[in-house]
Amino acid sequence: MLTDCKRLGLLVLLGGGVALLLWYLAPWAVPHRVFGGEGVLLNPFGHHLPQGSLPQGYRDAWLYPVFYLSLAWLALSLLLPWTKAGPRGLYWAGALGLGLFLLTYLLFQGSVAQVNAGAERPLLRRYSLGLGSYATLAYGLYLLLLARVFSPGGLALLVRRRGVVVPLFSLLLASLLGGAIVAVLKESPGEAATWREALMLKLDLITYTYQLLYSPLVSPSGFLQSLLLATPLIFTGLSVALGFRGGLFNIGAPGQLILGAIAAMLVGVYLPGPRWLVLPLALLAAALAGGLWGAIPGWLKARFGAHEVINTIMFNYIAASLFLFLISANEYKFFGQTLHLPFKYPGYEARSYEVRPEARIPHWTDLVAPGGELSFALPLALLLGVLGYFLVRRSLGHRVLAAGLLGALGYGLGGLLPGPQVAFGPDLTSVRLNGAFLLALLALLFFHLYVFRHVGGYELRALGLAPKAAEYGGVNPGRKVVWTMFLAGALAGLAATHYVLGGGIDEYRLKQSLPYSVGFDGIAVALMGQNTPLGVGLAAWLFGILLTGGLQVNLQLGISRELVAVLQALIVLFIAAGGFLPRYFTDPLRAAEVELKAEKEVKE
């Protein structure tokens, strides 16, 4: 068994080695990227220059002082663990690293600004730091992490936060493997003279892929688009998460979503009436239909013991058949007789009639700024709703009721207030984000209140953690299973409203292109979010970002968008394996042991 000091030293050595290797092999900065993804790559050991020279007027002198400073910092950090400073010294080293990264960033930005200054059209538009600089940042963060873990009680802190550590570590592993896949599947653009240059091109290709994947974070339209794609994922993620909480595995979200879509279409297209009646009814129908479709496998499990996993999968295929039956043709032959259906819109494409305007979920611009005037309705509704929840000090039901009523009041009052004029560019208004996103946020709230604040949710969790104990405690397991599957199905069914009533893709119709496989993505969202509402919301947003960025990757690099699906699958696999982390990160009993030991340490 190694002593803590030695182990720390070796871990620092390992991280430092990787950082040094990346400094040598990877580009530090990419001041210019030509079409096709090839970059002007700067590295202190020799650049890669596509046209043979640096971009006009660019000066790379800033790179060398930064490089020598980094080397000095690396040497310092490698020595620190062996001195008396120990973990505490590493805090300083880590902070120094972050400062060094900031310096690199500023100097690089300065060097680019110098070229662009004065020019009418900036010469360098597509520029970014490279993996070499990111290695500085990563090594700095790594040192901070090590410093915390090797301080008294540090490991216990990580173990206590294992709900965050395991998904994030799995994301990291999946990203590394995804990078390797990109490196294998995609030839690097540009010609290399030496093997170092070839590696530099590969590493730049991987970095560029991930920069594109996360690019929605830095553009307003990409940001909205990521929320748009996150909306159905929140619903399906919650659907799967609710099942997991109750010890059930709901792989049936795609089928439940299809049934929700059919019901929303039926009400939205064929029920006339005013908006305040039809829209809620259409939403309700979607939830109800999805819920019933989920409840059937639940009932089959409760009544006959048929495993819900295979059954929910079968119900996905059956739902897909039903869906095609309704909208792909209007005439069917049954035993020689002809059946006429009214649902398919005339034409080649399999799609329904358009949803009536009264049943449509409003576009985000109509919620935020109806008629071009910024509206106070939503902020005021939120404010009064929160006030109502926290001011009423009675049972949960009262609080939710008060919040709902005050929220509605706030919405009405806020709508009356005059607001300033705003105008959004076409890149923003063309994003089809709609009110379904707000519904998704409400669904997150519902999940939290039901699962963690309501008796029903308590029973649900008890059943999931210890079925026998829950049964002795008075839970009727059969009924609970059916009810849980109903709620899970209802959440998945609501996801369909985003597409059919909210026009989330292109039209306010039920179409054959309905992307019901987002139901499967819900599995990754639920696992990544560890079945908590906050986690599910963040995980759905993360995947929304990656899916939006995946489009860029496809456009710019010609790598299939399915790269994101592969990343999701790998994340699920790694989370299932506990991120390949030591046992105390997955086993609650061992986790408790670690924490007890840490408490003793801290007291000493």
Partner 1 sequence: MSLDAAFLTALLLSTLRQTTPLLLTALGGMFSERSGVTNIALEGILLFGALTAAVVVERLEAALGPGPHPWLPWVGVVSAMGVGGLVAFVHALVSIKYRADQIISATAINLLALGAPSLVLTYFYGNATSSKEVVNRLPLLFGLSPVVYLAFLLVPLSWWVLFKTPFGLRLRAVGEHPEAADTLGVNVYRMRYTGVVLSGVLAGLAGAYLSIGFLNQFVRGMSAGMGFIALAAMIFGNWHPAGILFSTLLFGLASALAIQLQGSEILPAVLVQAFPYVVTVLVLAGFIGRSRPPAAVGKPYEK
* Closer residue to partner 1 (CB): 47 or 186: 186
- Taking CB under 8 A as the criterion, which residues in 323-362 touch partner 1? 324-325, 328-329, 332-336
- Quickly list DSSP for 524-563: HHHHHTTT-HHHHHHHHHHHHHHHHHHHHHHHHH---THH
Q: Does 175 bind partner 1 (CB under 8 A)?
A: no
| Closest CB 168 distance from partner 1, rounded Å | 17
The β-bridge relationship of strands 128-129 and 29-33 is antiparallel
Beta bridge partners of 495: none
Q: Does 305 bind partner 1 (CB under 8 A)?
A: yes
Span from 80-88, 96-104, 312-320, 502-510 in contact with partner 1 (CB under 8 A): 312-320
CB of 443 within 8 A of CB of 234? yes
Residues 6+ apart with CB under 8 A from 363: 432, 433, 434, 435, 503
Of 313, 413, 441, 591, the one binding partner 1 (CB under 8 A) is 313
Beta bridge partners of 159: none
- Taking CB under 8 A as the criterion, which residues in 238-277 touch partner 1? 249, 251
CB of 239 within 8 A of CB of 491? yes
396-434 in b/e burial notation, b at 16+ Cβ within 10 A?
Answer: eeebbebbeebbeebbeebeeeebeeeebeeebeebbbb
| Closest CB 79 distance from partner 1, rounded Å | 36
| Closest CB 43 distance from partner 1, rounded Å | 28
Per-residue binding letters, 503-542, with partner 1 (x by CB under 8 A) = --------------x--x--xx--x---------------
Residue of 136, 143, 122 whose CA lies nearest to 44: 136
* Closer residue to partner 1 (CB): 147 or 182: 182
| Closest CB 120 distance from partner 1, rounded Å | 40
- Taking CB under 8 A as the criterion, which residues in 555-594 touch partner 1? 558-560, 562-566, 568-570, 572-573, 575-578, 580, 586
* Closer residue to partner 1 (CB): 53 or 321: 321
- Quickly list DSSP for 90-145: HHHHHHHHHHHHHHHHHHHHHHHHHHHTT-SS-S--S-EE-HHHHHHHHHHHHHHH
| Closest CB 571 distance from partner 1, rounded Å | 8
| Closest CB 287 distance from partner 1, rounded Å | 23
| Closest CB 573 distance from partner 1, rounded Å | 4
CA 285, CA 265: separation in Å to the nearest integer?
A: 9
User: Count residues contacting partner 1 (CB under 8 A)?
Assistant: 53
| Closest CB 108 distance from partner 1, rounded Å | 33
| Closest CB 326 distance from partner 1, rounded Å | 9
Residues 6+ apart with CB under 8 A from 481: 246, 248, 298, 301, 302, 463
Q: What is the 3-state secondary structure (H, E, C) of 59-95?
A: CCCCHHHHHHHHHHHHHHHHHHHHCCCHHHHHHHHHH
Q: Does 45 bind partner 1 (CB under 8 A)?
A: no
| Closest CB 139 distance from partner 1, rounded Å | 28
For 42, which DSSP code?
A: E
CA 587, CA 64: separation in Å to the nearest integer?
A: 48
Span from 93-101, 141-149, 316-324, 425-433 in contact with partner 1 (CB under 8 A): 316-324
* Closer residue to partner 1 (CB): 161 or 303: 303
* Closer residue to partner 1 (CB): 400 or 524: 524
The tokens of 545 are what?
A: 């970002």
| Closest CB 50 distance from partner 1, rounded Å | 24
Per-residue binding letters, 423-462, with partner 1 (x by CB under 8 A) = ----------------------------------------
- Quickly list DSSP for 239-277: HHHHHHHTT-----HHHHHHHHHHHHHHHHHH--S-HHH
CA 241, CA 443: separation in Å to the nearest integer?
A: 12
* Closer residue to partner 1 (CB): 332 or 452: 332
Answer left, alpha or beta for residue 510, where phi above 0 means left and psi between -120 and 50 means alpha: beta
CA 388, CA 404: separation in Å to the nearest integer?
A: 8
* Closer residue to partner 1 (CB): 429 or 586: 586
CA 158, CA 327: separation in Å to the nearest integer?
A: 52
- Taking CB under 8 A as the criterion, which residues in 139-158 touch partner 1? none
| Closest CB 309 distance from partner 1, rounded Å | 6
Under DSSP, is residue 40 helix (H, G, I), strand (E, B) or coil?
Answer: strand
Of 117, 172, 310, 405, the one binding partner 1 (CB under 8 A) is 310
Which residues contact partner 1 by CB under 8 A? Answer: 181, 185, 249, 251, 300, 303-307, 309-311, 313-315, 317-318, 321-322, 324-325, 328-329, 332-336, 517, 520, 523-524, 527, 558-560, 562-566, 568-570, 572-573, 575-578, 580, 586
